[in-house]
Structure 1
Amino acid sequence: MINIEKVRADFKILNQEVNDKPLIYLDNAATSQTPRQVIQALSHYYENDNANVHRGVHTLSTRATDAYEAARAKVARFIGARVTSEVIFTRGTTTALNLVCNSYGEANIQPGDEIVISYLEHHSNLIPWQQLAKRKGAVLKYIDLEKDGTISEEKANIAITEKTKIVAIAHVSNVIGSITPIKEIAALAHKHGAVIVVDGAQAVPHLKVDVQALDVDFYAFSGHKMLGPTGSGALYGRRELLENMDPSEFGGEMIDFVELYDSTWKELPWKFEAGTPIIGGQIALGAAIDYIENIGIETIHQHEIALNEYALAEMQKIDGVTIYGPLEADKRCGLVTFNLEGVHPHDVATVLDEERIAIRAGHHCAQPLMKWLETSSTARASFYLYNTKEEITAFIDGLKLTREYFGL
């Protein structure tokens, strides 16, 4: 069980007031808050070790390099990579997915090949493949969803064929919070000779992820959704695939030798990290992993399930509330996406903000899913390790107040 008081003491931002009331932050699926330990790690780098990595032999550069590579080792251990060279530091999930698309995809997709994704995908795991298919004359296919919006192995088996070369899928939906059976879909992809690329942005902060156990080929995630700084993140890639891929970005530090008319690249992982990286941010990502591991990822997940169970039960008692996705709390991560009949989601979010409650409203960078759900936008409340049952109660009361405000 999480010691909520102790945890919340690490997040100074949660102590503020919004509209003269204590802040309730329920927009964690967009960006989580950052504990003082992570902020201190970031500050320590800039105050003590601020120098470029891998390039200098002086003391500051050596310390910065050691801390940066130590963070890579933490990421590798946290997600179950075989070796640290399978971890490429990126600016986040979007950059990581584009790297795979523009390197592996560009080299391996031919006219008539199939790229399989789902209606659940965030635009970051849709548009790159959409554009690649257009450039290459490939076929972009969508896995049909079940009635509750989830992805089943059965529907995936229909979509994935001998023509499939890439399957790109979200581990957890950023809209409905559903958990995709990644291991089973990976097996289907490999059965047909395809690779599987996973958007893990909403999974890594909330679930135990082991890329070897899942048997995935690529796995991307962001630091800012898991207590880390914005601009931090990583891509896991199977070593044998990464070694045969060309860089998609060129410049300093990723080279081995440069001649007038040709160049060669450094070994993994550095051939994919051109230019000066976000050094302090990745070091702080390592500190975020330390923080999560100190509490325990399974403890965090169980805490979210309890909040989900309570929120789902109470929301279903309110007239006019439509909840999207599975209604079983253990089939989703810590978020609830909904609409209030007769009230636009932005109006719901505005009224709740007046009550100091931060939620998200809009299409959540998932417009094809909105169309599948037969709506243009939704409201979303998302929870994390520092949220409390009392905050969920205030959120429920806020929804009731919203109905009254609009005369429902």
Structure 2
Amino acid sequence: MIRIKAGVPRRPRPRTRARRPLRRALALGLPTVWGAMAITYKLTCPLAQQNSLGARIVTSAVFFAVGTGLIVQVRRSLLRELRQIRQIAGAAQNALLRPLPPRLDGLNIAAAQLSAERGAVVGGDLYEVIATEHGVRVVMGDVRGHGIAAIGTVAAVLGSFREAAHDEPDLAGVLRRLERALARHLRERARAEHPASGGLDPDSPVAEEFVTVLLLEIGGDGEISALNCGHPWPYLLSGGGVRALARADPLPPLGPFPLPAELPFVCCGQLLPGEALFLYTDGAEDVRDARGRFFPLKDALAEVVGQHPLPIPQSVLGSVFSALLRHTGGTPTDDVAMLVVRNDRKAACPHLGARGSDISGSAAGARPATTHPHSTNYPQHNGV
């Protein structure tokens, strides 16, 4: 299973400082010794002054050994520096997209991400789950582009969410905080890249940046509220099968257009005990195989649920990621992030715990998504 690596253990500082002078001396001294040996042999050894075939072979062997030693020493130094850089980068990336706790307020959580940028743990996808006094709040987002270039935008959006999730009493306030943080980040980035512009030029490539964002709030009774800005709706996994959590058209992504004055959120029913939500970024559905076919994400989830009616978050992620890598031949071209949240709370009533067998929302046991009384009705969404 692909997962976010844990933090890198730190070495004791006194020991590290004590080794630094020795490493520097070895890094500079060994190449000098090899070079001195080669020059000494060429100037002082009588064999090196001869032109016979045997003397030439010996001289070539000496310089080959010297060259090999230099290459090995340089390679060892570069590998050591590369390991240190990877450790620092891994620690920084884990601080940005920190590993989620396995359990949070009665919810079982598992998340994983695969970056399209080789050597990077964090790409253009973001997620976070936070328990607040208003309920458990979840964000899943996707920054335009992928890889290391998108990390700055991920940091701006995630940092704002981690503060706003606790401060704002409703999801609308959280979303507006994310919009302001993104706008501020893009202005600062535009000034850094084009100091003469003095701000965010509409013709600048930075002005075309956007982030799709899905905000969820799961109450103590399992009631789910959502605000969606251009992001795929999650799937609901239950013993009855797999279905989209909602069918409402999302708002535009954050960035290109301002948010409307009214932000109606969608009431998505209850997450019953034993049920799970599968959140993902569009890289999980847009990846193609060698024949150009898209990855059948819903079919992969249905296969997992068919084998395990009680979805286990870690098993779901492992199965889906394995199927995705088989589909792409192990080389996805876009960042992929997945998050599974299962309700492990005890049922408040004896009849809770199972939905109707019809997962389309038409059966009596199913609870289709509805809109809040203060929200407006959306048309049917067909983009999932």
Scaled by the length of structure 1, what TM-score is found?
0.26
Which structure's CA Rg is the greater one?
Answer: 2
Structure number with the bigger relative contact order (C-alpha 8 A, sep ≥ 6) is 1
